[in-house]
Amino acid sequence: MDYLWRVERRAVVQAVADAAALGDRSENAEYIYGKKRLREIDRRIRYLSKRLADIKVVRAPPTDQNKVYFGARITLLYPDEREQTVCLVGPDEIDPSSGLISIDSPLARAVLGKCLDAEITLHLPSDDGNPKRLQAEIIAIAYPTDLHHSEAKSLLSLA
Protein backbone atom coordinates (compact mmCIF):
# COMPACT_ATOMS: atom_id res chain seq x y z
CA MET A 1 0.00 0.00 0.00
CA ASP A 2 2.87 2.34 0.80
CA TYR A 3 4.29 1.72 -2.69
CA LEU A 4 0.94 2.56 -4.28
CA TRP A 5 0.67 5.80 -2.31
CA ARG A 6 4.25 7.06 -2.46
CA VAL A 7 5.47 5.81 -5.84
CA GLU A 8 2.78 4.70 -8.25
CA ARG A 9 0.13 7.28 -7.37
CA ARG A 10 2.67 10.09 -7.44
CA ALA A 11 3.86 9.01 -10.92
CA VAL A 12 0.30 8.81 -12.25
CA VAL A 13 -0.58 12.24 -10.80
CA GLN A 14 2.44 13.69 -12.60
CA ALA A 15 1.49 11.95 -15.86
CA VAL A 16 -2.08 13.31 -15.58
CA ALA A 17 -0.77 16.82 -14.94
CA ASP A 18 1.54 16.57 -17.95
CA ALA A 19 -1.31 15.29 -20.14
CA ALA A 20 -3.64 18.05 -18.89
CA ALA A 21 -1.07 20.66 -19.86
CA LEU A 22 -1.31 19.51 -23.48
CA GLY A 23 -4.72 21.09 -23.92
CA ASP A 24 -8.13 19.61 -24.76
CA ARG A 25 -8.78 16.95 -22.12
CA SER A 26 -11.86 15.46 -23.77
CA GLU A 27 -9.84 13.91 -26.60
CA ASN A 28 -6.61 13.38 -24.68
CA ALA A 29 -6.21 9.60 -24.31
CA GLU A 30 -3.25 9.92 -21.94
CA TYR A 31 -5.24 12.21 -19.65
CA ILE A 32 -8.32 9.96 -19.71
CA TYR A 33 -6.27 6.81 -19.08
CA GLY A 34 -4.30 8.53 -16.31
CA LYS A 35 -7.47 9.63 -14.51
CA LYS A 36 -8.84 6.09 -14.80
CA ARG A 37 -5.62 4.63 -13.40
CA LEU A 38 -5.68 7.17 -10.56
CA ARG A 39 -9.22 6.07 -9.62
CA GLU A 40 -8.08 2.41 -9.65
CA ILE A 41 -5.13 3.19 -7.36
CA ASP A 42 -7.32 5.18 -4.96
CA ARG A 43 -9.91 2.38 -4.89
CA ARG A 44 -7.17 -0.18 -4.10
CA ILE A 45 -5.72 2.01 -1.34
CA ARG A 46 -9.19 2.38 0.26
CA TYR A 47 -9.74 -1.39 0.07
CA LEU A 48 -6.36 -2.18 1.63
CA SER A 49 -6.84 0.43 4.36
CA LYS A 50 -10.15 -1.14 5.36
CA ARG A 51 -8.64 -4.64 5.31
CA LEU A 52 -5.69 -3.59 7.46
CA ALA A 53 -8.06 -2.22 10.09
CA ASP A 54 -9.70 -5.66 10.43
CA ILE A 55 -6.61 -7.88 10.40
CA LYS A 56 -4.69 -9.21 13.36
CA VAL A 57 -1.54 -11.30 13.25
CA VAL A 58 -1.76 -14.75 14.81
CA ARG A 59 1.54 -14.97 16.67
CA ALA A 60 1.24 -18.34 18.39
CA PRO A 61 -0.59 -21.60 17.85
CA PRO A 62 -3.63 -22.25 20.06
CA THR A 63 -3.13 -23.87 23.44
CA ASP A 64 -5.36 -26.84 22.51
CA GLN A 65 -3.70 -28.17 19.37
CA ASN A 66 -6.04 -31.16 19.18
CA LYS A 67 -8.81 -28.91 17.87
CA VAL A 68 -9.08 -27.21 14.49
CA TYR A 69 -8.68 -23.44 14.58
CA PHE A 70 -7.50 -20.75 12.16
CA GLY A 71 -4.05 -21.61 10.78
CA ALA A 72 -4.43 -25.37 11.24
CA ARG A 73 -3.07 -27.74 8.62
CA ILE A 74 -5.47 -30.67 8.66
CA THR A 75 -5.58 -33.99 6.88
CA LEU A 76 -8.92 -35.54 6.08
CA LEU A 77 -9.59 -39.19 5.22
CA TYR A 78 -12.59 -39.88 2.99
CA PRO A 79 -14.49 -43.20 2.85
CA ASP A 80 -12.79 -44.05 -0.47
CA GLU A 81 -9.42 -43.94 1.41
CA ARG A 82 -8.45 -40.69 -0.33
CA GLU A 83 -6.60 -38.16 1.84
CA GLN A 84 -6.73 -34.38 1.54
CA THR A 85 -4.49 -31.93 3.40
CA VAL A 86 -5.49 -28.28 3.65
CA CYS A 87 -4.48 -25.23 5.66
CA LEU A 88 -7.13 -22.79 6.93
CA VAL A 89 -6.09 -19.25 6.01
CA GLY A 90 -7.59 -15.80 5.63
CA PRO A 91 -9.60 -14.88 2.53
CA ASP A 92 -6.70 -12.90 1.08
CA GLU A 93 -4.31 -15.86 1.23
CA ILE A 94 -6.30 -18.63 -0.47
CA ASP A 95 -4.62 -20.82 -3.05
CA PRO A 96 -6.57 -24.07 -3.47
CA SER A 97 -3.89 -25.61 -5.70
CA SER A 98 -1.48 -25.31 -2.75
CA GLY A 99 -4.02 -26.53 -0.21
CA LEU A 100 -4.67 -23.08 1.28
CA ILE A 101 -8.43 -22.69 1.79
CA SER A 102 -10.43 -19.81 3.20
CA ILE A 103 -11.53 -19.93 6.80
CA ASP A 104 -14.95 -18.97 5.37
CA SER A 105 -15.19 -21.99 3.02
CA PRO A 106 -17.77 -24.74 3.60
CA LEU A 107 -14.98 -27.23 4.39
CA ALA A 108 -13.39 -24.91 6.95
CA ARG A 109 -16.75 -24.22 8.60
CA ALA A 110 -17.33 -27.98 8.85
CA VAL A 111 -14.01 -28.65 10.62
CA LEU A 112 -13.62 -25.55 12.83
CA GLY A 113 -13.63 -26.49 16.50
CA LYS A 114 -13.60 -30.22 15.75
CA CYS A 115 -11.13 -32.57 17.43
CA LEU A 116 -8.69 -35.09 16.02
CA ASP A 117 -10.51 -38.25 14.80
CA ALA A 118 -13.82 -36.35 14.51
CA GLU A 119 -16.19 -37.30 11.71
CA ILE A 120 -17.49 -34.42 9.62
CA THR A 121 -20.23 -34.18 7.02
CA LEU A 122 -20.02 -31.72 4.16
CA HIS A 123 -23.20 -30.63 2.41
CA LEU A 124 -22.23 -29.75 -1.16
CA PRO A 125 -24.45 -28.39 -3.91
CA SER A 126 -25.12 -30.66 -6.88
CA ASP A 127 -26.45 -30.21 -10.40
CA ASP A 128 -29.77 -31.90 -9.67
CA GLY A 129 -30.63 -29.57 -6.77
CA ASN A 130 -30.28 -32.23 -4.08
CA PRO A 131 -27.37 -31.43 -1.75
CA LYS A 132 -24.61 -34.03 -1.87
CA ARG A 133 -23.35 -35.30 1.49
CA LEU A 134 -19.67 -36.09 1.79
CA GLN A 135 -18.21 -37.58 4.94
CA ALA A 136 -14.62 -37.45 6.14
CA GLU A 137 -12.54 -38.03 9.25
CA ILE A 138 -9.93 -35.62 10.62
CA ILE A 139 -6.79 -37.78 10.89
CA ALA A 140 -4.16 -35.08 11.52
CA ILE A 141 -4.03 -31.53 12.88
CA ALA A 142 -0.84 -29.48 12.87
CA TYR A 143 0.02 -25.86 13.55
CA PRO A 144 3.13 -23.95 12.50
CA THR A 145 5.43 -23.81 15.52
CA ASP A 146 8.44 -21.91 14.19
CA LEU A 147 7.29 -18.27 13.99
CA HIS A 148 10.19 -17.52 11.66
CA HIS A 149 8.77 -19.99 9.15
CA SER A 150 7.15 -18.20 6.21
CA GLU A 151 3.82 -19.97 6.69
CA ALA A 152 3.66 -18.98 10.34
CA LYS A 153 4.55 -15.38 9.54
CA SER A 154 1.82 -15.11 6.93
CA LEU A 155 -1.06 -16.30 9.10
CA LEU A 156 -3.50 -13.43 9.40
CA SER A 157 -6.96 -13.46 10.87
CA LEU A 158 -9.81 -11.04 10.49
CA ALA A 159 -10.69 -9.53 13.86
For residue 140, name the pLDDT band (cuts at 50, 70, 90): very high
Q: How far apart are CA 133 and CA 50, in angstroms?
A: 37
pLDDT at 60 over 80: no
**Angle between helix 29-54 and 9-20 (nearest 10):** 160
For residue 108, name the pLDDT band (cuts at 50, 70, 90): very high
Q: How far apart are CA 45 and CA 59, in angstroms?
A: 26
Does the 2-57 domain belong in CATH 1.10.760.10? no
Q: Which pLDDT tens digit goes with each residue over 1-15? A: 788 888 999 999 999
Q: How far apart are CA 154 and CA 29, in angstroms?
A: 41
Domain 2-57 and domain 73-158, same fold? Reply is no
The bridge status of strand 132-142 relative to strand 73-77 is antiparallel
The predicted model scores a pTM of 0.62
Tell me the domain boundaries of the chain: 2-57, 73-158
Short-list 63, 88, 62, CA closest to 75: 88
Task: For domain 73-158, give the CATH number.
Answer: 3.10.50.30
**Phi, psi (degrees; rounded to nearest 5) at 70:** -55, 135
